[in-house]
Amino acid sequence: MEIWINPACSKCRTATTALDAAGVTYTVRRYLDEPPTAAELADVLGRMGLEPWDLARDAETRAAGITFPRNADHRDDWIAAMVADPRTIQRPIITTSDGTTVVARDAESLAAAVDRR
């Protein structure tokens, strides 16, 4: 299992605390320090069935000046911009050993990831 986190994020700290409490073995990726590549982000989006703008943090996206239309013509632009400024990527993102990937911002998503280990 891998979790992409920002240690300053309360949702990320909640997620790692829950994983620890459940005895789950996981790898932490501080995605601000080690941003995903465009291919990695596209893969994560594909596993979740989302478009990049669905995984974007709106306030950070505006602050970063990302103003592309939210459509297929600009999908690669969104991905490139999010990789260039990873603060724009929603967190925490958990990928379980079976490849299931979720944004674990709520208790249900977090529990589902823990159950899938």
The pTM for the full model equals 0.92
Strand partners of residue 94: 3, 102
25 has a pLDDT exceeding 80? yes
Instruction: Return the H-helix or E-strand segment holding 39.
Output: helix 38-48
Distance CA 103, CA 94 (A): 6
Instruction: Tell me whether the omega of the peptide bond preceding residue 92 falls within 30 degrees of 0, making it cis.
Output: yes
117 has a pLDDT exceeding 80? no
Distance CA 99, CA 41 (A): 14
Mean pLDDT computed over 94-115: 92
pLDDT confidence bin for 89, thresholds 50/70/90: very high
pLDDT confidence bin for 27, thresholds 50/70/90: very high
Residue 1 has what pLDDT?
Answer: 95
pLDDT in tens, 32-69: 999 999 999 999 999 999 999 999 999 999 999 999 99
